[in-house]
Structure 1
Amino acid sequence: MVDFGTQEENNRRKKIANEWWKKGTEAMSRQNWDFAIEMFGNAVQFFPEFMNYRQALRGVEEKKYGNNKTGARMVFLKVNSLRSRVKKARTAKDWAEMDKAAEEGLTLNPWDGQFNHDVGECCRERGFEEVATWAYEKAVQSEPENKTFLLSLADIYEQRGNYQGAVGIYQRLAKLEPLNGSYRSKITQLGASQTIDRGGYEKAKDTQEVKRGYEHDRLTKAEEADGPGMSVEADLQRQIRKEPENVGHYVKLAEYYRKEGKFAEQAEILKKGLEVSSDPNLREQWEDVEILLTKRQLEQLRDAADKGDANSKAKASELAKELIAREVDVLTRRIDRYPADLKIKFELAERYFRLKKYSQAIPLYQQAANDPRHEATVLVNLGKCFLAESRNDLARRQFEKAVSKLNFQDTPDPYKECHYILARLYEQSKDNTKAENHYNEVLAVDYSYKDTRERLEKIQGAAG
């Protein structure tokens, strides 16, 4: 439970919320749904972290609409302003306002998956994990194949230690995307987390466990613990020595190292596991942690270079080349394994784009454009690729598609760049009316963007 202030203030909130709750209960007994919704809604606003108020509110909302699963008539005409409020509050990170707007949306349609997910998101940000979990579950009930909703639910299940629940969600995701190997890897990881937690290695519940935790910290500094049950690391190493052919032991120890932030040790034990097994999931985990370690090394070199170390600057340049070459190699092999995974294709296209290998990036971007998560970025970068290949007509077509999907609030830099490039292309083709329109779109949000003002004045001057 999140503390909103002093104990006195919290008690005051509880007392006021309870009064609203009583009035709502009385209205519910008389089937006065509108008044019950108002009262329970007030209780939720005064004490938003209390699950019972949320559940009661949603229950009477559903009864008001006779459990029709669609809510109010012509509801789609009424919710757009509320969705805009939610979006604005999310951008401002005003989680209380976002919560309020989403709950108002649910009074119109309590089965709306997006509004339920919005409640889950803002409650999670506010620290109301129990309410957030319930709201995510409601969202998934409404849209059982929505991958965003499923991932949010799996993530909070994992955060709260419900590994079995998280595994179940990832299994559902794997059925929706059978070629997405990341879900199978996550299932393996969660299995290891469940084993570690079940062993009591991370969550102390009483003073004896706290004492054992202290002893664990002391023992893991030594070469090996005195005996079983005193160190998770030593126990898992002992299991590997006992059954070196059992890949599961390597996975569990690697997961332990990951949760401890010991990524070098994680990479080392995964590499040892690969010596006894050719399991592709194990290889992918090893590749991922190796890339992570390389990125961290690169950050350290760049930090040193920023402080004037010329040697670090040269090393950083070489390591950056090695890193992107490694990423290209890894992503290329993963596309062979998961040919329908658009996210991997997007990531590989991004690497080719940075390497200025535009002809190789283009077909990957074209396929990745079918993924709505990256559509706008893909279209902009496709346009840039075609520009680099001197295919201006194709470039303009991509930028025209992209500009309709961009807005300044969410993506300010791509928004300005896309309008600016379109203006330049239209200016080049002597279509000054369209060029002027796009230059004006840029100036409306950034009056000093590049040479936009000078170019617009030149066009207007030529027009007389």
Structure 2
Amino acid sequence: MPPELEAQDIEKARTFFQYGNEAALKSNFDYAINMYKEACKRAVDNLQFRQALRGIQRRKFGNEPSKVGRLVGMTNKKIHFSARSARGKEKYAQAIETLEEAFTNNPWDVAAAREGAESFEMLELYPIAQWYLESVQSEVGAKDAEFHRHAAHVHELCEAWPKAIASWETVKRIDPYDDEAERKIKNLAAAATMKRANYEGAIEKAGETPKESAEEIAERLEQLKLEKMTPEQRLHNEIQKDPKQVWPYIELADMARKRSQFENAEKILSAGLKANPKDPALQQNYAEVQMTRLRRAIEALTKRVDDDPTDVTSKSKLEQLHRMLLDYEIKEYRRRVALSPEDHNLHYQLGLALARDSKHAEAIGEFQIAKGSPNLKIQSMLQAGLSFEADGRAKLAERTYQEALKSLEPSDTANFNALHYQLGRVNETLGNMEQAEEHYNEVAANDYTYRDIAQRLRNLN
């Protein structure tokens, strides 16, 4: 981003932040939340903006977690899933922005805080990741050792040794037989001692090397060994310590995907699923990698067939890959819909995949659910109409297109043309040539080059 554009964004962020402050003073919670969100969107790395946003979100509930509705958990589950999806695609800022919707519903959402902390960690904004976890620590379950392991990891990234040690001590209280906790506490204590010694040595004119016990030397060497590890080695080390941890697999796979090493990413996630077979985040990331690999293979084979149309073997293989990808997409979207049945976009995506597979009766059902979303209503009805046509139900298609036209915004020329064009096609099928011509004329008046509209009007005349 050019420096002048970055400066403009920062200035806009400050303006939105000021608007938020003014609204907060008047207890205009919704407007303040929106303004702070805009500020955070333009300055992802600004902790002050994020803290102000969370503060006003909590004020809206009177700073009482008990006032959050019981059904919010189900609503936020869908948002968590969307955020994971964005993070799986390396869209960390988008994931963070998505999670703010969850915090608006429940400003003490522990799962959202952990998701957000992981995205900030990937952006190397460790202090914000640390604050995310600390801001919900009072709501963490008494037996949630995984949260405290996560917190310890982030505290360590921030070199907040006492906090990291305290988190591992909490893990040890929850699970007295956790060997890793004991080892980490010793290592972190050594790191803290080394850091303190470095500070003291820096201000001494003639510092002498302090005497160390054999145990202290061993601990220091172990710490130095850890510090020399690459990020990948550290993550592999975490997996060896506890294969049930999900985040190291996802982060390792993310690193592989950034390098376009999709086969390696698949192996990492496959190992994660072997250890955590029902984890939805691992399942989704694994599916995304598999589908990406299939799409890349299809692109390569398509180019080969385009270069040599006589290559029968490549053509056959290309057809097989298209079939495999479509089957995988349908299976994956069915799984996601089962997890988040209230997500209209998932129903829409499943409908598109089913329609591509000529399963139009099932596709229509998905589109009819998807049209419950205002943002997807027109597209869902258009797609439902196309499936009705493909299924030989022209009258139902006509009715669906007409209903969609009634909901159309006046400025939506693209869908206006698409719906009138399909209505023309349907009326041709039904033998209503005059009505077909009227619909084609509506399209031609907007865009005479639209598809084959000119030829169809000539044929009717």
Please indicate, yes or no, whether the TM-score normalized by the shorter chain is above 0.5.
yes
Matched, 1:313 2:302: no
Please tell me whether residue 50 in structure 1 is matched to residue 11 in structure 2: yes
What corresponds to 2:343 in structure 1?
Answer: 341
Q: Structure 1 residues 434, 447: CA separation in 2 closer, same or farther (over 3 Å shift)? A: same
Partner of 1:371: 373
Change (3 A) 1:149 1:187: closer
> Does structure 2 conserve the Cα–Cα contact (< 8 Å) formed by 1:174 and 1:183?
no
CA distance in 1, matches of 2:19, 2:446: 41
User: Which 10-residue stretch deviates more, 162-171 or 276-285?
Assistant: 162-171
Task: State the alpha-carbon separation in 2 of the partners of residues 320 and 290 from structure 1.
Answer: 13
Shift of 1:383: 0.6
The answer to whether the 8 Å contact 1:173/1:183 transfers is no
1:239-286 Cα deviation digits (max 9, x unpaired): 323334544543443344445554332221121122223233223322
Cα distance between partner residues in 1 of 2:94 and 2:452:
55
Alignment match, 1:297: 297
| 1:443 to 1:61, Cα distance in 2 relative to 1, 3 A | farther
**Are 1:399 and 1:418, in contact at CA under 8 Å, matched by a contact in 2?**
yes
Deviation for aligned residue 1:363: 1.2
Looking at structure 1, the residues matched to 349 and 95 of structure 2 have their Cα atoms a distance apart, in angstroms, of 30
Q: Distance in 2 between matches of 1:439 and 1:164?
A: 43
Label 1:184 to 1:271 Cα distance change in 2 as closer, same or farther (>3 A): farther
- Deviation track 1:65-121 (CA, whole Å, cap 9, x = no partner) reads x95959xxxxxxxxxxxxxxxxxxxxxxxxxxxxxxxxxxxxxxx94988998x779
Shift, 1:361, TM fit: 1.1
1:383 aligns with 385
Which residue in 2 is equivalent to 1:229? 227
* 1:446 equivalenced with 2:444 (yes/no): no
Over 3 Å counting, the alpha-carbon distance change for 1:53 and 1:355 in structure 2 is closer
Deviation (angstroms), 1:387: 1.3
Separation in 1, partners of 2:438, 2:36: 39
**TM-score normalised per structure 2:** 0.57
* C-alpha contact 2:90 2:254 (8 A) present in aligned 1: no
**Contact 2:20–2:32 (CA under 8 A) maintained in structure 1:** no
In the superposition, relative to structure 1, how do residues 417 and 317 fare at CA in structure 2: closer, same or farther (>3 Å)? same
Question: Mapping of 1:93-172 within 5 angstroms?
Answer: 111=31, 124=42, 169=100, 171-172=102-103
Other structure's SS at 2:226 match: coil
Q: Conserved in 1, the CA contact under 8 Å of 2:388 and 2:397?
A: yes
Judging changes above 3 Å, is the alpha-carbon distance between structure 1 residues 53 and 234 closer, same or farther for their aligned structure 2 residues? closer
Question: 1:442, 1:452 within 8 Å by CA — same for their partners in 2?
Answer: yes
Q: Which residue of 1 aligns with 2:274?
A: 275
1:434 and 1:390, CA in 2 relative to 1: closer, same or farther beyond 3 A?
Answer: same
SS for the counterpart of 1:448 is coil
Report the counterpart of residue 352 of structure 2 in structure 1: 350
Q: Aligned partners of 1:399, 1:276: CA distance in 2, in Å?
A: 49
Question: Once structures 1 and 2 are overlaid, which stretch shifts more, 361-370 or 397-406?
Answer: 397-406
Q: Deviations over 1:365-419 (max 9, x none)?
A: 111111233222211111111112222221111111223445697663x442321
For residue 450 of structure 2, give the secondary structure of its aligned residue in structure 1.
Answer: coil
Per-residue Cα deviation, 1:414-454 (whole angstroms, up to 9, x for no partner): 44232112124345556666544422221122213355346
Is the 8 Å Cα contact of residues 267 and 286 (structure 1) preserved in structure 2? yes
Contact 2:14 2:39 in 1 (8 A): no
Match for residue 250 of structure 1?
Answer: 249
**Given residue 368 of structure 1, which amino acid in structure 2 is its aligned partner?**
A
Contact 1:331 1:347 in 2 (8 A): yes
- 1:50 is paired with a residue whose SS is helix
Equivalent pair of 2:389/2:426 in contact (CA under 8 Å): no
Q: Counterpart of 2:327?
A: 325
For the residue of structure 2 that corresponds to 1:383, the secondary structure is helix
Quote the offset at 1:175 in angstroms: 6.7
Alpha-carbon distance, 1:188 to partner: 9.0
CA RMSD of aligned residues (A): 5.3
Larger deviation, residues 284-293 vs 430-439: 430-439
User: TM-score, with normalisation over the residues of structure 1?
Assistant: 0.56
Q: Show structure 2 runs of 5+ residues with no match.
A: 61-71, 123-128, 130-149, 159-223
**Would the aligned equivalents of 2:273 and 2:279 in 1 still touch at CA under 8 Å?**
no
- Measured in 2, the distance between the counterparts of 1:455 and 1:304 equals 35
| C-alpha contact (below 8 Å) 2:394/2:430 kept by paired residues | no
Residues of 2 paired with 1:284 and 1:53: CA distance? 37
Measured at CA, do residues 114 and 233 of structure 1 come closer, stay the same or move farther in structure 2, by a change above 3 Å? closer
Q: Distance in 2 between matches of 1:387 and 1:236?
A: 52
After superposition, the Cα gap between the structure-2 partners of 1:264 and 1:435, relative to the gap in structure 1 and judged at 3 Å, is same
Structure-1 separation of matches of 2:275 and 2:439: 60
Distance 1:68 1:199, change over 3 A: closer
**Offset at 1:317?**
1.8
| Deviation of 1:327 (Å) | 1.6
Q: Which amino acid aligns with 1:296?
A: R
Q: Which residue identity is paired with 2:337?
A: I
SS at 1:228's partner residue? helix
Per-residue deviation, 1:322: 0.8
Q: Is the 8 A contact 2:20 2:35 kept in 1?
A: no
Q: 1:427 to 1:184 in 2, by over 3 A?
A: farther
Compute the displacement of 1:344 (Å). 2.2
Matches within 5 A, 1:168-179: 169=100, 171-172=102-103
Q: Does 1:285 align with 2:285?
A: yes
Equivalent residue for 1:83? Answer: none
1:2 deviates by 4.5
Between the aligned partners of 1:286 and 1:456, the Cα distance in structure 2 is 49
What is the count of residue pairs matched by the alignment? 343
- CA, structure 1 residues 188+114, in 2 after alignment: closer, same or farther (shift >3 Å)? closer
Q: How far apart in 1 are the matches of 2:407 and 2:19?
A: 34
Conserved 8 A contact 1:379-1:398: yes
